[in-house]
Structure 1
Amino acid sequence: MSRTSNAILYKGIITGVLILLMMIPALFINNLVGERKERQQQVVQEVSSKWGSGQTLSGFFLVLPYEVIHTDAAGKQTTERKELTILPETQQVNSIMFPEVRPRSIYKVLLYKTTVNYDGRFVIRLPREIDPASVKWQESRICAGLTDIKGIEEKIMVNLDGSSIELSPGLPNKVITDNGLSAPLELLPEKLNQSIAFRSQIKLKGSEKLHFIPLAGNSLFSIRSSWQNPSFDGNYLPGERVVNDSGFTASWSFNKANLPFGTLLLDKGFEEKGFAFGVTMLQPADQYSKTERSTKYAILFIGLTFSLFFIIELMQKNPVHPVQYVLIGIALSVFYTLLLSFSEFIAFDYAYGLAATATITLITLYAKGHFGLWKTALIFGAVLSCLYAFTFVLVRLEDTALLIGSIGLFLVLALVMYGSRKVQWYGKPVPAA
């Protein structure tokens, strides 16, 4: 093996080691992105704690206390107090969400106000094992569950059987939910097996998420808003949905056949999260997630750029010093800090364009200064432009990112192999094809 081939081998090894070393700044940048993202989440939580968190509404239900008498072997009687929960027989729930984007420092927090209208009816029934005479009708309560009472904008009134009742914070038990409001209700035994209509309007504030729990025999829910980026989540997807430039509308329907509970609950615990559904309003641009995805392609930029410098220095016999490789690698790494900082103030697409233009210009001028030819420098500029454009497409894609990325990398490898076919790796002329 000649001295020339040895020199090329050693230079190739040094270049490969430098490529791996330059991944260290990429890891630090990735941690920086995570810190900024965490800071954004802290700001969102801080504002949400003062405004109102994501709301989950269980709707209205009745709680009827009753007594059960137990007799032991000695004939001694003891009285145990229990509670029967009665869910609506039917209900219709309509919600209108009004989104609000509040700036906080350099961040934007997505909040909303909503007006929720309930319209339904109860049917007062008792299970066979409950004696109507054991029911404490005068101690009954009407209840409504919601996550954060801080978000209540107006007092909650419910019209029940023609009577207007104001609800106050607190629930008689946690069978349905942990948080909510209730009010005493003087039911009469004469209401047994009768239908009682109810109606209410709830005005709430919340953050990002609005969920409901279908606590009724038969129910219909609808949500509409001017927000254009909804995510329908929870345990049930909407039966009908429309999302367009003017906002979204969605509806859900439930009946006794597709819910694993009836309208009478006897001291039975209820896992509300297992039945919650609704919508989460998404921010149209999450710059931190996109920046984080961009950093995953740092090895591609550094590896291909170093390889291009290595091949051209061999072809032009104009060696590039390892220190120069390090400077080029740092310039490629600074792209991500520029992208991160710019995207906190302007849209991600514009931030990407500015950061990429600055980096391409810097490296192109540096190549011109070293090789002395604009033709060579423009080759570097064109290759980097294609790389940044390719990465931008991958960042914007989600489901097909792996497919497009794999095809793109294959084509890049093919071009590198084609471009390096005339490199004299052993210091000897390459035979003409």
Structure 2
Amino acid sequence: MNKETSPIDRINSWLKNSISLKLFVITILMLLLLIPSTMIQSIIHERESLSNQAIVEVSNKWAGSQQINGPIVSIPLIYEYKDEDKTYETTKYLHILPEELDINGNISPEKLKRGIYEIVVYKSKLALSGTFLLNKEIDKNNLKEIKYDQAFLTIGISDLRGIEDQVILNWDKKDLKVEPGSRISELIYSGITVKLPNIETDINKSINFSFSLNLQGSQNLNFIPLGSTTNVKIKSDWPFPSFNGNFLPDHRNVTDTGFEADWKVLQLNRNFPQSWIGNKHADKIGQSNFGVNLILPLDDYKKSVRSSKYAVMCIALTFLIFFLVEIINRRKIHPFQYILVGLALCIFYVLLISISEHSNFNTAYIISSISIVGMISLYSLTILKSKKLSLLLMATLASIYGFLFVTLQLADYALLMGSIGLTLILAATMYFTRNINWYEINIDPK
């Protein structure tokens, strides 16, 4: 005699066997798991912030990013003005830039550590030379006197703590000592000054200059193209340069053992003249910089952030595998078991960032992925009660993490790889589910 099922039994049976309800529950679980994945991203950003603080602290003790601005020759001009019955004088400076400016340098990078964080600093040996033509047009209205005997030369160095040795300027075959500080702070805020000998007799001739600069700094080394023709040649044994600023190298050669780069910038390539009176053009000069940044290749924090953005994909694909196993093999999986698997997937990113701080990213990724794939695969043995299905799940998870690893390495092609991978995954899902009758699958067979 058949026993009639009560409404409660029917509801309970529907809850257990409804595919639509199971899909809804899985979707809600995926959305809830976005909360811990978002928290993980905030942890990564916090650790990256601590790393940036370490860079700032080391730079403050070593020397910051360096920018070479100069040399500039400045000649005092005395102008006399009359205002009603009063006569007063004012001093203006004629600023003259070099006709030729050649910079040859070698950068020797070093890695320093602050706790567990790594910072790139460098020592550089720079040789600067060129020529000046001092015979420039001057506004002679109300001009009273030109003080050639008080002319001086300024070399801009953004962080003076980086100067390692005394600087001697060779000016027209004469060695001149430098003084700290800049007298033209409106144009060059930080630098050194050289008092020039009386240049009145040299006003119509080309004057050669040269000096060496041993300078240490952090990460960046930039230059200002003050010469009518500026030539810069830099070489280093650092294999990860990033060329920045308003001018890229005309020629570069980057290998695993270092790089060489050279720039040629003409007066016509910049937006300020070779000489002027007063404090004009300061902004335009500052905006014309160029140089090189010694970077660490796509650092671990950036890779970790990028990998965490794929958390939704990893969770969705893993849940999809479990769901298809439920449908195709009639293995019921409780929502709580989905939650445990989802949390394990989230813990992967915590492991990744914590291990990568003490080793390299690739090693951390391998250790983390093996740990999580192994954990979920062993757990699935109890859930699925099938070694074959567990091995299939392990292979699929390994493929997902392998695909993600390759995508992270190919930064420029990440979108292409991601779109191709998702297309293939969707195609595979459509293929394996093509024969499922979704209208009858939720009917529990008697």
Q: TM-score range by the shorter chain?
A: over 0.9
Stretch of structure 1 that moved more, 59-68 or 231-240: 59-68
| Rounded Cα–Cα distance in structure 1 between residues aligned with 2:199 and 2:258 | 46
| Rounded Cα–Cα distance in structure 1 between residues aligned with 2:298 and 2:270 | 37
Which of 367, 374, 378 lines up with 2:380 in the alignment? 367
| Rounded Cα–Cα distance in structure 1 between residues aligned with 2:64 and 2:407 | 34
Instruction: Note the aligned Cα RMSD (angstroms).
Output: 2.0
Which letter does structure 2 place at the counterpart of 1:207? Answer: S
Which of 282, 287, 295 lines up with 2:300 in the alignment? 287
Please give the residue correspondences for 1:161-172 in structure 2 after superposition, counting only pairs within 5 Å: 161-172=172-183
Q: CA deviation at 1:358?
A: 0.8
1:134 and 1:429, CA in 2 relative to 1: closer, same or farther beyond 3 A? closer
Which of 149, 152, 164 lines up with 2:163 in the alignment? 152
Please give the residue correspondences for 1:340-355 in structure 2 after superposition, counting only pairs within 5 Å: 340-355=353-368
1:309 and 1:297, CA in 2 relative to 1: closer, same or farther beyond 3 A? same
Deviation string 1:67-96 (CA, Å, 9 cap, x unpaired) is 111123x35422111111111111211011
Structure 1 length-normalised TM? 0.94
Which letter does structure 1 place at the counterpart of 2:281? Answer: G
Q: CA deviation at 1:428?
A: 5.2
Q: 2:78 touches 2:144 (CA, 8 Å); kept in 1?
A: no
Q: 1:4 touches 1:426 (CA, 8 Å); kept in 2?
A: no
Which position in structure 2 is the counterpart of 1:129? Answer: 139
| Rounded Cα–Cα distance in structure 2 between residues aligned with 1:215 and 1:86 | 9
- Paired positions, count: 429
Which position in structure 2 is the counterpart of 1:82? Answer: 92
Confirm or deny that 1:115 pairs with 2:128. no
Where do 5+ consecutive residues of structure 1 fail to align? none
Which position in structure 2 is the counterpart of 1:269? Answer: 281
SS in 1 for 2:239: coil
Which of 412, 421, 438 lines up with 1:425 in the alignment? 438
Q: 2:63 touches 2:218 (CA, 8 Å); kept in 1?
A: yes
Deviation string 1:162-199 (CA, Å, 9 cap, x unpaired) is 22222122111234321111132232422222222111
Q: CA deviation at 1:338?
A: 0.8
Deviation string 1:93-133 (CA, Å, 9 cap, x unpaired) is 10110001112211111000001101111111131424896
Q: CA deviation at 1:381?
A: 0.6
| Rounded Cα–Cα distance in structure 2 between residues aligned with 1:259 and 1:385 | 54
Which position in structure 1 is the counterpart of 2:250? Answer: 239
Confirm or deny that 1:380 pairs with 2:393. yes
SS in 2 for 1:303: helix
| Rounded Cα–Cα distance in structure 1 between residues aligned with 2:437 and 2:336 | 24
| Rounded Cα–Cα distance in structure 1 between residues aligned with 2:76 and 2:138 | 15
| Rounded Cα–Cα distance in structure 2 between residues aligned with 1:368 and 1:424 | 27
Which letter does structure 2 place at the counterpart of 1:50? Answer: K
Which of 404, 412, 421 lines up with 1:399 in the alignment? 412
1:133 and 1:367, CA in 2 relative to 1: closer, same or farther beyond 3 A? same
SS in 2 for 1:186: coil
| Rounded Cα–Cα distance in structure 2 between residues aligned with 1:371 and 1:199 | 78
SS in 1 for 2:332: coil
Which position in structure 2 is the counterpart of 1:100? Answer: 110
| Rounded Cα–Cα distance in structure 1 between residues aligned with 2:386 and 2:172 | 89
1:174 and 1:130, CA in 2 relative to 1: closer, same or farther beyond 3 A? farther
Stretch of structure 1 that moved more, 3-12 or 113-122: 3-12
Stretch of structure 1 that moved more, 7-16 or 149-158: 7-16
Which position in structure 1 is the counterpart of 2:237? Answer: 226
SS in 2 for 1:359: helix
Confirm or deny that 1:217 pairs with 2:228. yes
Q: CA deviation at 1:26?
A: 0.4
Which position in structure 1 is the counterpart of 2:60? Answer: 49
| Rounded Cα–Cα distance in structure 1 between residues aligned with 2:40 and 2:442 | 43
Q: 1:175 touches 1:269 (CA, 8 Å); kept in 2?
A: no
Q: 2:125 touches 2:214 (CA, 8 Å); kept in 1?
A: yes
| Rounded Cα–Cα distance in structure 1 between residues aligned with 2:436 and 2:34 | 27
| Rounded Cα–Cα distance in structure 1 between residues aligned with 2:210 and 2:47 | 46
Q: 2:98 touches 2:131 (CA, 8 Å); kept in 1?
A: yes
Which letter does structure 2 place at the counterpart of 1:92? Answer: D
SS in 2 for 1:363: helix
Q: CA deviation at 1:32?
A: 0.6
SS in 1 for 2:355: helix
Which letter does structure 1 place at the counterpart of 2:433? Answer: S
Identity between Structure 1 and Structure 2 (%): 34
Confirm or deny that 1:339 pairs with 2:389. no
Which of 407, 414, 430 lines up with 2:427 in the alignment? 414
| Rounded Cα–Cα distance in structure 2 between residues aligned with 1:96 and 1:119 | 15
| Rounded Cα–Cα distance in structure 2 between residues aligned with 1:249 and 1:184 | 35
Confirm or deny that 1:313 pairs with 2:323. no
| Rounded Cα–Cα distance in structure 1 between residues aligned with 2:348 and 2:80 | 76
Q: 1:95 touches 1:222 (CA, 8 Å); kept in 2?
A: yes
Which position in structure 1 is the counterpart of 2:338? Answer: 325
Q: 1:311 touches 1:423 (CA, 8 Å); kept in 2?
A: no
Which of 137, 147, 151 lines up with 1:140 in the alignment? 151
Structure 2 length-normalised TM? 0.92
| Rounded Cα–Cα distance in structure 1 between residues aligned with 2:210 and 2:380 | 74
Where do 5+ consecutive residues of structure 2 fail to align? 1-9
Confirm or deny that 1:9 pairs with 2:20. yes
Stretch of structure 1 that moved more, 266-275 or 227-236: 266-275
SS in 2 for 1:249: strand
SS in 2 for 1:88: coil
